[in-house]
Structure 1
Amino acid sequence: MDTLMLVKAAIMGIVEGLTEFLPISSTGHLILAGSLLGFDDAKAKVFDIAIQTGAIFAVILVYWQKIQSTVVALPSSRQAQKFALNVLIGFLPAVVLGLLLGKFIKAHLFIPVVVATTFIVGGFIILWAEKRQAAVVRVQSVDEMTPLDALKVGLVQCLAMVPGTSRSGATIIGGMLLGLSRKAATDFSFFLAIPTLIGAGVYSLYKERALLSMADVPLFAVGLIFSFISAWLCVRWLLRFISSHSFVPFAWYRIAFGIIVLVTAFTGVVSWHEA
C-alpha cells in the first residue's frame, strides 16, 4: 500500500482519538481533516466510522474495572442490572433514528460549512450549560441515574447525527442540562459510546463491504492503532481535567475554529470541498 496513504490513515487516527471524547466533534474534525488531506472518498467515510472502534477500546481499557465488575455482578446485583439497562436504554434512540435518518443526513449535511456552523452553535450551548450547571445538579454519579435519565441522554445523543455537533458534547452537555454532575455526565457519555460506536462501526463495515478488500487491512489497522493510542491518552487526561475545570475552554475552541473554517471557506483561502 502507498506509504502516503498510511501516513494519512495515521493522521486521521490521531484526529479521531483526540476528538472522539472531547465535546468538539470527532466527525466534524474528520470531515475537515479529510477535506484537507484529500482523504474523503466513499472508502474514507467507512474508514472514519470504523476507526472509532480503536477509540472505544481505549475507553474499555480505562473503565475496565467498572465494566468487569458490572458484568460479573449482573446475575445477582440489582445495581449492576440497573446500570446495564440504563446503557441499553440510552443506546436505543440512536439505533432507531440512525436507521431512519442516517442516509439522508450523510447525503446532505456532511459538508464543512455545516460542520463549522454546528461548531459555533454548540460552543454557545456549552457556555450556557456551564452557567446553569451549579444550580441544577441532582445526580452525582452514573449509579444514581434512573432509566428516564438514560432515555433523555439517549435522545440528546441523537443530535450528534448532525456532523459537527459532537456525540460526546451532546451527551455530556445534555446530561448536565438534565441535572447530571459534570463527572456523571462524562462517565455515562463514555459508557454509552461503547455500544453506540461499536455498533456504528460494525454496521458501516457490513453495509459497505463491497468497497473493501484485504488490501485495505493495513490502512484500517494503522487508523485503529493510532486512534486507540491517542484516545487512551485523551480520556485519561480529560478525566483529570474535569475534576477541577469546566468545559468552557472547549466552547471557545469550537467557536473560534468554526469561525476560522467559515472565513477561510468564503474567502477561498482554504478549499474546503465536500467530504
Structure 2
Amino acid sequence: MRHTLPLAPQFYVTAPQPCPYLEGRMERKLFTALQGDSAGRLNDCLSKQGFRRSQNVLYRPSCADCAACLSARISVKDFAPSRSQRRTVNRNAALKRTATSPWATEEQYDLFRDYLDSRHADGGMADMDVFEFAAMIEETPIRSRVVEYQHPEEGLIAVALTDVLDDGLSMVYSFYDPTRQKDSLGTYLILDHVEIAREAGLPYVYLGYWVPGSPKMGYKARFSGLELYVDGKWQKMRDPADYDKETHPLSVDPIAEQVANITLPDVRPAGTR
C-alpha cells in the first residue's frame, strides 16, 4: 500500500515537565513536524505565530496554567542601539563574521561544551554529546546558516545557528566563549544579526521567548524595537513590569481551540484546487 505524508500538519502536545524558566511551574509544548516540500512555508507561517524551530520540529508553549512565555522579535526599522550596546559593538569590532551552510565541526562543539559547562551545567542540554550537537546543527529542512565569529588571535569565539525566514532572521541557538564576559558576546550576536537583517532588507530578527520574571530571559527586554506575540498578534513591548502572567487554568484556551486558531500556509501542490 502506498503511503503519503498528510498535506495538513498534525499537532501534538508534550507531557508536562518542570519549567526551566520559572520555579514551581510546569511547561507543556504544542508541536508539529517540519518536513516535506512545504517545510519552508510552514516554518515562515508558524514563526509569525509564536512558534520556534528545533531540528525538524516546530513548537510553541501551551502550558495548562501559565502563559508567561512570549515570542519576541526586534523590528529592524524601529531599533536604535543604546549607548551601552554601541560600546559592545566597538569592543567586538575585530571579530570576523562568516556565514556557512549548517555543518557541525569539532571546534564548534568544543566551544559549545565550554559554554554549557560554564553557563548551563544543570540545563536540559548539559549532557548533549557530539552526535546530538551535530544533529542540532545539521538536521534542518529549511534554509539555515551557521554564523561563526572569529577573533584574529584567538580563533572561534562565538557561533549562531540562524534560520532565514521570508520576513527575517530567526536566531535558533547561539553560544560563545564564556570567559569573555566583558565583551557581552550574547548581546553582540543579536546586534550583529540586526545589522545582517538590515543589509538583507529583512524587517525582523526573531529572538525566541521572553519570559517575564525569569532572570535568564531578562536581557531581551533591553533591545529597542522589541515586539511580543500576545493574544494572537504582534504588539510593541510596553514596560516589562506590565506583563503579569499568573494565568488561571480556566483562562487558557483548550488545545483544540488553540490548534483551530492557527493559520496554515497553502500546501497544496501546484495546479490543484
What is the TM-score of this pair, normalised by structure 1?
0.31
Q: Who wins on radius of gyration, i.e. which is larger?
A: 2
The structure where strand makes up a greater share of residues is 2
Query: Could you say which structure has the greater relative contact order, defined with CA pairs below 8 angstroms and 6 or more residues apart?
Result: 1
The structure where helix makes up a greater share of residues is 1
What is the TM-score of this pair, normalised by structure 2?
0.31
